[in-house]
Amino acid sequence: MPLRSTPDKSALRVTGLCKNFGEVGVLHDLSLTIGAGKRVALMGRSGSGKSTLLNCICGIEQFHAGSIEICGELVNTMNSKRIEQFRRERLGYVFQSFHLLPTLTALENVEFPAQLIHSSRDDIRNRARELLRLVGMEHRETHRPDALSGGELQRIALARAVINHPRLILADEPTGSLDSTSGDQVLDLLERISDEKQIAVLLVTHDRNTARICEHVLKMKDGYIIGDNK
């Protein structure tokens, strides 16, 4: 059954989130909201809990208290099958290390998430080609990842992230492995895609310059959000 569309709701609402690993508290009473189509940067030192927060949001990690709502739907109460479907249909991911499948071409990598939700092959191919054009990679359609640069790989990963029309992109250090020119290109594309398609973004980064595309910057320290400085 397709998930209902809720364009008027916040893309993400985290309330009172607590997460422990064993005896150790890693996230403490975290709350944050991202409006539909808005971008929020999350900055903080290594070990402050940023990736754990992203993993809780996408349902990979369980949490002990609080709630997470994505597009108005409460993730807490979903079973694992539903979370998986929800993740495919509502969330897009961009990682520092790209995570493209090495045996697939650029075009096939972009198509892959769409094949998991049973669209027609022609429709998937057309959408994947359109997205490769959008990220300026149509001339690399048949290349495999080992024949592409980091910047090119991340542009393809960005196309892949949006093929299922997500409402929220989770980006963990998306420019962390790129030189500044390629990083800027990826950021400009992320900003443009988020604006044009009204996709919210939660962007984890160490870098102030990367955070510039975001309306809000949250700082995290030792599992607490300690400031909102925009």
The CA radius of gyration of the chain, in Å to the nearest whole number, is 17
What is the footprint of Mg ion within residues 42-61 (CB under 5 A)?
50-51
Binds 16, which of ligand ADP, Mg ion, none (CB < 5 to 8 A, cut-off by type)? none
186, 154 Cβ separation under 8 angstroms: yes
Judged by CB, which is closer to Mg ion: 6, or 51? 51
For residue 190, what are the contacts with CB-CB under 8 A and spacing of at least 6? 94, 158, 169, 171, 174, 201, 203, 213
Distance CA 62, CA 133 (A): 38
148: which 2 tokens?
A: 């592409």
Q: How far is the CB of 61 from ligand ADP (least distance, A)?
A: 8
155, 189 Cβ separation under 8 angstroms: yes
Q: Which residue is nearest to Mg ion (CB)?
A: 51
Q: Is 6 in the site for Mg ion (CB under 5 A)?
A: no
Judged by CB, which is closer to Mg ion: 112, or 224? 224
13: which 2 tokens?
A: 């609402």
Binds 21, which of Mg ion, ligand ADP, none (CB < 5 to 8 A, cut-off by type)? ligand ADP
Judged by CB, which is closer to Mg ion: 17, or 107? 17
203, 41 Cβ separation under 8 angstroms: yes
What is the footprint of ligand ADP within residues 33-92 (CB under 6 A)?
44, 46-52
Give the one residue of 16, 21, 165, 198 binding ligand ADP; rule: CB under 6 A.
21
Residues that bind ligand ADP (CB under 6 A): 21, 26, 44, 46-52
